[in-house]
Copies of this chain bind each other. A is one copy, B any other.
Amino acid sequence: MRSHPDLPTEPNARIGRPRSAEADRAILAATRAALVELGWSKLTMGDVATRAGVAKTTLYRRWAGKSELVVDAVAVLFDELELPDLGSLVADVEAMVLRFAALLERPETRTAMMAVVAEATRDEALRKRIRVAIVDRQKVLVLQGRARAQARGELPYERDPVTAAHNADLIFDVIAGAVVHRTLVSAEPVDPAWARRFTRLLLHGASAVTPRP
Contact = CB atoms under 8 A, between A and B. Distances in A.
A98 interface: no
A166 B121 contact: no
A25 interface: no
Q: How large is the interface on A (under 10, 10 to 19, 20 to 34, 35 or more residues)?
A: 35 or more
A24 to B, nearest CB: 24
B181 A177 contact: yes
A185 interface: yes
What is the count of identical protomers in the complex?
Answer: 4
Interface in A95-120: 107, 110-111, 113-115, 117-120
B169 A188 contact: yes
Interface of A: 39-41, 107, 110-111, 113-115, 117-122, 127, 130-131, 135, 155-156, 158, 163-164, 166-167, 169-174, 176-182, 184-188, 194, 197-198, 201-210, 212-213
Given A39-B121, A176-B181, A212 B156 contact: yes
Given A41-B119, A203-B207, A170 B156 contact: no
A166 B54 CA distance: 50
Contact of A174 (B111, B122, B127, B174): B174
Contact of A117 (B107, B127, B185, B202): B185
Contacts of A178: 173-174, 177-178
